C-alpha cells in the first residue's frame, strides 16, 4: 500500500471530532484523503471542506457531493470559509505531517536520501526554495533556523561549513549540501541529524510555524460552541505551540483568571496527555512514530 494513503491515528483523530451527522467539518490537510474519507463515512448529509496546498494531493480526490477541495494552505482557512459562506464549523482536523509521498518523490527535494535540487516547496508556486535559504541567509539566520527548527546541537559549526562551501560555489543539490557539512555530522546518528537539518529547511521554506499560528487563531474563531479541534503534530516545536494554545487559548501561553481566580480559556481539553500511535500502527507505518494527537472542545466564554 502506498504510504501516501496511510492516515495516521485515523480512528482516534476522527473519533475526537465527535461528528454530528449533519455537521460542517474541515480537513485542513487532505493529503491522501484518508481522514476525509472517514469523516464523510460518518456524516449523513453535512459538508466537508478539505485544504491542501500540494498539487499532488489533488490527484487523490474522489467523487462526493459533500466534499469541497481547496488547493491552498490551511493558513487561509478563514478567507475560504467566508468565500463559501460558512460562518462556523462543527469540527476541524489537521495532520501536520508531510506526506510520505512527498518524501518518496525524489524531485521534491524533501529527503536527504536522494541527490536532487534543493527545492522543498509544498506549493510549487511559492517563490522561496531551500537552495535560496542555504545560499542567501546570513550566518545568524541560519544558526537560528537550525537551532530552533532542527534542534541541531552544533548549529554554529554546521552554518560555518555551509558559509565556507557556498563561498566557493552555490549549493544547489542535497548531495552538495551533505558534502559541505559532512565533517559536522555525527556518524553514530547521521540519519537523525540529516533528518533534523532537512526538517529545519523545509519548515522555513514553507513557513510552517507562521502558518500554524494563523491556523490556530482562525480555528478558535470559526468553531461553534461544542465544536472540536483535533491536531496531530510530529515534532516538539509545533507540539509545544499546540499544547500551549489548547491550554490557554492564546499563542503566548498567557494564563487568564476571572474575578474569583477561575482559569479562563475558550477550550476544554478532551485529552490532557497526548495520544500516540500503538505498536501495531508504528510497525505498519514507521513514519507515524513521532505523532502526537491533541483534542479540544470549544466552550462558551
Going by their DSSP bridges, the two strands 263-264 and 267-269 should be labelled as unpaired
Please say which residue of 205, 220, 243 terminates a domain.
205
**Does residue 119 lie within any of the structural domains?**
no
Last residue of a domain, one of 165, 185, 205: 205
What pLDDT does residue 5 have?
A: 60
Residue with cell 491550554: 247
Q: How far is CA 177 from CA 116, 133, 180, 185, 198, in A?
A: 10, 12, 5, 12, 10
Please give the C-alpha separations between residue 228 and each of 16, 201, 246, 271, in angstroms, as whole numbers.
Answer: 7, 32, 11, 12
pLDDT of residue 61: 96
Same structural domain, 11 and 70: yes
pTM assigned to the model: 0.91
pLDDT-derived band at 287, boundaries 50, 70, 90: confident
What CATH number corresponds to the domain at position 141? 1.10.150.170
Number of domains in the chain: 2
Please determine, for residue 2, whether its predicted confidence score (pLDDT) is greater than 50: no
Per-residue confidence (pLDDT) for residue 106, from 0 to 100: 47
Q: How confident is the model at residue 295 (pLDDT cuts 50, 70, 90)?
A: very high
User: Which of 156, 175, 205 is a domain's end point?
Assistant: 205
CATH code at position 294: 3.40.50.150
For residue 112, tell me if it sits in a domain: no
Cell numbers describing residue 3: 504510504
For 280, the domain range is 3-100+208-298
pLDDT at 112: 65
Tell me, yes or no, whether 198 and 220 share the same domain. Answer: no
Question: What's the mean pLDDT in 139-163?
Answer: 97
CA distance 113 to 161: 20
- Whole-number mean pLDDT of the chain? 92
pLDDT (tens digit per residue) in 133-149 = 999 999 999 999 999 99
Q: What is the pLDDT of residues 42-85, one digit of tens each?
A: 999 999 999 999 888 999 999 999 999 999 999 999 999 999 99
Please tell me the predicted confidence (pLDDT) of residue 104.
47
Rounded Cα gap, residues 54 and 122, in angstroms: 5
Torsion angle in degrees (nearest 10) through CA of 41, 268, 277, 108 = 80
Do 231 and 187 fall into the same domain?
no
Residue 100 in this model has a pLDDT that exceeds 70: no
Q: Is the pLDDT of residue 197 over 70?
A: yes
Amino acid at each position: 500500500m502506498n504510504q501516501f494513503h496511510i492516515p495516521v491515528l485515523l480512528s482516534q483523530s476522527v473519533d475526537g471530532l465527535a461528528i454530528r451527522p449533519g455537521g460542517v467539518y474541515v480537513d485542513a490537510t487532505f493529503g491522501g484523503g484518508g481522514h476525509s474519507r472517514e469523516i464523510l463515512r460518518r456524516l449523513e448529509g453535512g459538508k466537508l471542506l478539505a485544504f491542501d496546498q500540494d498539487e499532488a494531493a489533488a490527484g487523490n480526490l474522489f467523487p462526493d457531493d459533500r466534499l469541497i477541495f481547496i488547493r491552498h494552505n490551511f493558513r487561509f482557512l478563514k478567507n475560504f470559509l467566508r468565500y463559501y459562506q460558512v460562518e462556523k464549523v462543527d469540527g476541524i482536523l489537521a495532520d501536520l505531517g508531510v506526506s510520505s509521498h512527498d518524501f518518496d518523490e525524489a524531485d521534491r527535494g524533501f529527503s536527504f536520501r536522494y541527490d536532487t535540487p534543493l527545492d522543498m516547496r509544498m506549493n510549487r508556486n511559492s517563490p522561496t526554495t531551500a537552495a535560496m535559504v542555504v545560499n542567501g541567509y546570513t550566518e545568524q539566520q541560519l544558526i537560528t533556523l537550525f537551532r530552533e527548527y532542527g534542534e541541531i546541537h552544533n548549529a554554529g559549526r554546521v552554518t560555518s561549513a555551509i558559509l565556507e562551501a557556498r563561498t566557493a560555489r552555490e549549493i544547489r543539490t542535497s548531495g552538495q549540501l551533505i558534502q559541505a557539512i559532512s565533517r559536522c555530522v555525527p556518524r553514530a546518528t547521521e540519519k537523525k541529524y540529516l533528518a533534523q537539518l532537512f526538517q529545519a529547511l523545509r519548515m522555513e521554506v514553507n513557513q510552517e510555524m507562521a502558518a500554524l499560528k494563523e491556523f490556530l487563531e482562525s480555528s478558535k474563531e470559526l468553531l461553534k460552541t461544542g465544536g472540536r479541534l483535533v491536531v496531530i503534530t510530529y515534532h516538539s516545536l509545533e507540539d509545544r505551540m499546540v499544547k500551549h494554545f489548547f491550554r490557554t487559548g492564546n499563542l503566548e501561553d498567557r494564563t487568564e483568571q476571572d474575578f474569583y481566580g477561575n482559569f479562563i480559556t475558550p477550550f476544554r481539553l478532551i485529552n490532557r496527555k497526548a495520544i500516540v500511535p500503538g505498536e501495531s500502527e508504528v510497525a505498519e507505518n514507521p513514519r507515524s512514530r513521532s505523532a502526537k494527537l491533541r483534542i479540544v472542545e470549544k466552550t462558551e466564554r
